[in-house]
Chains A and B, each alone.
Chain A
Amino acid sequence: MSDNTRQMNSARREFLSKAGATAGAVAVAPGVFLTAPAAAKPADEKVSDDKRWGLLIDTGKCANGCDACVSACENENGWGGNDNSEKQSSEEQRAQWIRKVQLKEKATGHVSALPLMCQHCETPPCVDVCPTGASFRRVDGIVLVDKHICIGCRYCMMACPYKARSFIHEDLTDQKPWTPRGKGTVESCTLCVHRVDEGGTPACVEACKAENHNAMFFGDLYDENSEISQQLEQHGGKQIRADLGLNTGVRYRGI
């Protein structure tokens, strides 16, 4: 058992003891809990470290050529797309919160593909290097940028091993109210925090399911009954650049 799994398990036990009291509610309304992996969090309630949100991506099911997850993220969060709001910026300058990466194993020629986004590390290098604390990790594992105190120094972009962050090179219009973005600041995948806080799932996961590919699973890594935990327990899951020991919240199968 890896250290990371062990960390998860100890927190899982803690979660279970706290969750005992709510077990009755699950029994009364099982349907509700099966379709929605998390209950909505009232806006005035603090984020809890009883949960650690994560993603599992099964590259075996991720169809080459399909970019439903990318389009869904664009629509949800208002970046990219045909009507890209970054009109002046070059391709290299435009933001990409999630991208499809094509992989070809040099030794065997095996081809696969996977979506890559912020890996929501437990010990994120972007948070370590941020001078103002604008890069931060919520206690439930979601890594975010506070656009109000980001000074646009881009040190987090230098530090991220996944090139998951983008800097905004121009003024933006028509933003989504739940995803504020701004010229001169850095942004990245929020794990659709606005949906998660309301008990929903990230747009990319929903889109993958709608395409019937079912290559993405979202859920609480600390809850051993969650689909993501069960999938990880049965089939395992790897971290990209596991050598860095960042304990990412996004795991991959088949790489």
Chain B
Amino acid sequence: MKLALNYREIEGKSTGFWVLLGGLGLLIVLALGAVLHMEHSGHYVTGMSNQIVWGMPHVFAIFLIVAASGALNVASIGTVFGKPLYKPLGRLSGLLSIALLLGGLMVLVLDLGRPDRLIVAMTYYNFKSIFAWNIILYNGFLAITIVYLWLMMERKMNRYYQSAGYVAFVWRLILTTGTGSIFGWLVAREAYDMALLAPMFIIMSFSYGLAVFILVLMAAYNWTNRPLGNAILYRLKNLLGVFIAAVLYFVAVYHLSNLYATEHHSVERFILMDGGIYTTLFWLVQILLGSLVPLVMVYHPSIGKSRPAIATACALVIIGGLAQLYVLLIGGQAFPLDMFPGYEVSSSFFDGVVNSYSPSIWEITLGVGGIAIALLLVTVAVRVLRFLPETLDDGVVDPHAAKAD
């Protein structure tokens, strides 16, 4: 017989809980301090320049925004694709996606040259700009996901939540298409300018979002001593393996497409062979540590069953994801614009040379602050509202698996 599913707030009285809140709070305070410094002095204190205009904050912000839409997948699999195993995870999935998006948006907005003019961005729209669409997509995502969560959590409204789940699922696909198109539709730079980036960002979101979700789930259940059965955990880590492989496929197609076109050979040579830090990050961190190693780990017959190994694989996917975005964003800007094919060019404005970028401590602190705010929101929310089932034991989530054991 299937056991009843009860959601309950976490107790939140332990020292560990307060240490976690304090630690995250401290990271947020440091991030706000970094913002104050950057905005007061101007961006000269950062590593960005007129050659590399988007730096480390954008790597963190895009990662969080992409992971946010991916984190909602777990809820979508339960609601849209009707998989009962995933249904108990729906609330946490929705919560995590809202929290990650808010963290990412905070980083993005606070790195603006004039964050005080946010109201301008909310009132003046140029509808040809993908950025303007994204402002609508992000706000819409927050609103839809909040309604989705409410319908899921309010028993009286339960019968409507499936429709909201469909809307949220479609919206999140459009949202990540928008995020990928920020780069995919930039004709000026060789590393971007490819429609493939939109679907590639969607598949990246599946992978990053699920990795973050599994880690948060494991931490939440481990730290509160609530049971988390193997049935659900193994299902999630196997799915993560599929997503890692899918991202690898898209990365391969992206580079092969560029390699086929002779005009893009030099940018590919830069990323894959001569790019120094970008080449190292690509092969060592993105491909080896961030994709191949976790792929082997999650599918390995014995390692794949170890919880520390699953958590490590998730952490590696996240590190690999940050490296992937660093290579794409910063590497794509470091490679010089090719305005005069067939010519060697030089100027006082660094034409024709590989641009250098070293992230400042302020930018990194801001980025980490975005992650901290997302985790703080989740921690507080699961303390005050019923997001987490009391148990995710195999007997609760999947009686068949329990029987088989």
Interface residues of A (CB under 8 A from B): 86, 88-96, 99-107, 116, 125, 127-134, 149-155, 157-163, 165-171, 183-186, 240-241, 244, 255
Q: Does B36 contact A (CB under 8 A)?
A: no
Say whether B403 faces chain A, with CB atoms less than 8 Å apart: no
- What secondary structure prevails in chain A residues at the interface with B? loop
5 contacts between A and B (CB under 8 A): A88-B42, A129-B128, A151-B117, A161-B339, A185-B113
CB <8 Å contact, B113 and A186: yes
Task: Assess whether A129 is in contact with B339, with CB atoms less than 8 Å apart.
Answer: no
B129 touches A128 (CB 8 A): yes
B50 with A151: CB separation less than 8 A: no
Q: Which residues on A sit within 8 Å (CB–CB) of B348?
A: 91, 96, 99-100
With the chains together, A161 CA to B190 CA distance in Å? Answer: 10
Is A158 in contact with B337, judged by CB distance below 8 angstroms? no
**Is B124's CB within 8 Å of the partner chain A?**
yes
**B398 CB–A CB distance under 8 Å:** no
Cross-chain contact A100 with B114 (CB below 8 angstroms): no
CA distance A127 to B51 in the complex (A): 19
Q: Give the shortest distance, in Å, between B385 (CB) and chain A (any CB).
A: 34
Please, what's the 1-or-0 string for B10-48, where 1 marks a CB less than 8 Å from any CB in chain A?
000000000000000000000000000001011110001
How far apart are A130's CB and chain B's nearest CB, in angstroms? 6
B255 at the interface (CB under 8 A from A): no
Query: Are A154 and B44 in contact, with the CB atoms below 8 A?
Result: no
Q: Which A residues are in CB contact (< 8 Å) with B189?
A: 158
* B186/A158 in contact, CB under 8 A: yes
Asked if residues B44 and A130 are in contact (CB atoms below 8 Å), the reply is no
Give the CA-CA distance A150 to B135 in the complex, in Å.
Answer: 16
- Nearest B residue to A101 via CB reads B347
- Name the CB-closest residue of B to A152: B113
Q: Mark B328-360, 1 if CB is under 8 A from A, else 0.
A: 000001000101101111111111000110000
> Is the Cβ of A103 less than 8 Å from the Cβ of B113?
no
- Alpha-carbon separation in the docked complex, A102 to B53 (Å): 24
Question: In the complex the two chains form, what is the Cα distance from A186 to B112 in whole Å?
Answer: 11
B177-220 contacts to A (CB < 8 Å)? 182, 186-189
A77 to B53, alpha carbons, bound, how many Å?
23
Report the Cα distance A127→B129, complex, angstroms.
8
A129 to B135, CA, bound (A): 13
A162–B343 CA distance with the chains assembled, in angstroms = 15
Query: Is B44 a contact of A151 with CB atoms below 8 Å?
Result: no
Q: Is the CB of B44 within 8 A of A129?
A: no
CB atoms of A151 and B118 under 8 A apart: yes
Cβ of B131 under 8 Å from chain A: yes
CB distance from A169 to the nearest CB of B (A): 4
| A102–B345 touching, CB < 8 Å | yes
Q: Enumerate chain B residues within 8 angstroms of A105, measured Cβ to Cβ.
A: 342-343
Q: Determine whether B261 belongs to the interface, using a CB cutoff of 8 Å to chain A.
A: no
B54 within 8 Å of A by Cβ?
Answer: yes
The reply to whether A170 and B114 form a contact with Cβ atoms under 8 Å apart is: no
| B186 cross-chain contacts in A, Cβ below 8 A | 125, 129, 158-159
A241–B346 CA distance with the chains assembled, in angstroms: 17
Known: A132-B125, A133-B124. Is A155-B131 also a contact (CB below 8 A)?
A: yes
Q: B52 — which chain A residues lie within 8 A by C-beta?
A: 92
User: Are A153 and B131 within 8 A (Cβ)?
Assistant: yes
Least CB distance, A79 to chain B, in whole angstroms: 12
Contact of B49 among A90, A127, A129, A133 (CB under 8 A): A90
| B126 on the A face (CB < 8 A) | yes
Q: Which partner residue on chain B sits nearest A129 by CB separation?
A: B129
Distance (whole angstroms) from the CB of A184 to the closest CB of chain B? 3
Please indicate the chain B residues that have their CB under 8 angstroms from the CB of A151 in the complex.
112-115, 117-118, 120-121
CB pair B113 A131 closer than 8 Å: no
- Interface residue? B130 (CB, 8 A): yes
Give which listed residue, A96, A160, A170, A183, contacts B349 with CB less than 8 A: A96
Which interface residue of B44, B130, B339, B356 has the most chain A CB atoms within 10 A?
B44
Closest chain-A Cβ to B33's Cβ sits at a distance in Å of: 18
Contact yes or no, A167 B53, CB < 8 A: yes
The reply to whether the CB of B153 lies closer than 8 angstroms to some CB of chain A is: no
State the Cβ distance, A60 to closest chain B Cβ, in Å. Answer: 15
Report the nearest B residue to A128, measured CB to CB. B128
Q: Does chain A have a CB within 8 A of B132?
A: yes
Chain B hits for A149, CB < 8 A: 117, 120, 124
Q: State the CA gap A112–B189 with chains docked (Å).
A: 24
**Interfacial chain B residues near A185, Cβ < 8 Å:** 113-114
Beyond the given A116-B339, A158-B333, could you list 15 further A-B residue pairs with CB under 8 A, ordered by the A residue number? A89-B42, A96-B349, A102-B346, A103-B345, A129-B129, A132-B121, A149-B124, A151-B112, A153-B112, A155-B131, A162-B339, A163-B50, A169-B43, A170-B42, A240-B339
Given A88-B42, A151-B112, A170-B42: A157 and B50 within 8 A (CB)?
A: yes
| Complex: A155 Cα to B54 Cα, angstroms | 9
- Contact in complex: B125, A158 (CB < 8 Å): no
Nearest neighbor of B113 in chain A, beta-carbon distance: A152
Complex contact A129–B130 (CB within 8 A)? yes
B:127-185 near A, CB below 8 Å: 128-132, 135, 182
C-alpha gap A162/B129 in the complex (Å): 19
Does A130 contact B126, Cβ atoms closer than 8 Å?
Answer: yes
Which of B50, B128, B132, B344 is the one whose CB lies under 8 Å from A96? B50
Give A130 to B349 CA distance when docked, in angstroms: 23
